Amino acid sequence: MPRSTRLRLSTLGGAAPLVALVLLGAGLLLVAPASASADTCVANGTTLCLNASRFKVTVAWQVPSQGTSGAGNGITLTTDTGEFWFFSANNIELVVKVVDGRAFNDKFWVFYGALSNVQYTITVTDSTTGAVKTYQNPDGNLASVADVSAF
């Protein structure tokens, strides 16, 4: 099997950088646009990868009156939607979805609905552009949000 080397190439005139994958010994060169972010979404117990794994979603929660905090535990429901629990897997605290709304306004949309009044911060990262949006819910607040111009 031929060895490969990955190179990041600069371009002239401010154009987007490129990545070249050179397959040594095979005489092949693949050049493609470089992603703005090196963060590929990898789902795990506290990270959801939504909308074809383009968006990484995490949640940090806190109960100031009890001095407790942690990371939300994520469960994928559909390709665009997931839920988070904080204290017990049978007690869902938050539902989040990322929808491709580009046909309507050239944006990806983020929706979330709280099933709890716990303080939390949702972080959504676009793994293609590197853009990050955070959504904060203060302690004692029940919130649902529709951000139709998120990304």
**pLDDT tens profile 9-28:** 444 444 444 444 444 455 54
pLDDT in the model for residue 27: 53
Judge if 15 and 69 occupy the same domain. no
Long-range contacts of 30-39 (CB under 8 A, 24+ apart): 34/8, 34/9, 35/127, 35/128, 35/130, 36/128, 36/129, 36/130, 37/125, 37/126, 37/127, 37/128, 37/129, 37/130, 39/125, 39/127, 39/130
Which residue in the block uniquely carries the two structure tokens 């029940």?
142
pTM of the model: 0.75
Same domain, 28 and 52: no
In a domain, 38, yes or no: no
Shared domain check, 113 and 77: yes
Domain of 25 in residue numbering reads as 4-33
> Would you tell me how many other CB atoms lie within 10 Å of the CB of residue 36?
14
Q: Tell me whether residue 102 is in a domain.
A: yes
Q: Are residues 136 and 89 in the same domain?
A: yes
Is there a domain that residue 41 lies in?
Answer: no
Residue 25 belongs to a domain: yes
Into how many domains does the chain fold?
A: 2
pLDDT of residue 33: 54
Residue 14 lies in a domain: yes
Residues ≥6 apart with Cβ < 8 Å to 90: none
Q: Strand, coil or helix: what is 74?
A: strand
Residues 101 and 27 in one domain: no
52 and 89 in a single domain? The answer is: yes
Specify whether 73 is located in the same domain as 132. yes
Same structural domain, 19 and 84? no
d(CA 104, CA 81): 20
Are residue 69 and residue 125 in the same domain, yes or no?
yes
On whether both 129 and 76 belong to a single domain, the answer is: yes
90 and 27, same domain (yes or no): no
User: Which has the closest alpha carbon to 53: 122, 128, 107, 113?
Assistant: 128
Nearest Cα to 68, choosing from 16, 113, 109, 120? 120
* Nearest Cα residue to 118 out of 81, 82, 86: 86
The two structure tokens encoding residue 136: 């904060």
Within a domain: 40: no
> Same structural domain for residues 26 and 82?
no
Residue stretches of the chain with pLDDT short of 50: 1-2, 4-24, 28-30, 35-38
Closest CA to 132 of 106, 104, 110, 99: 110
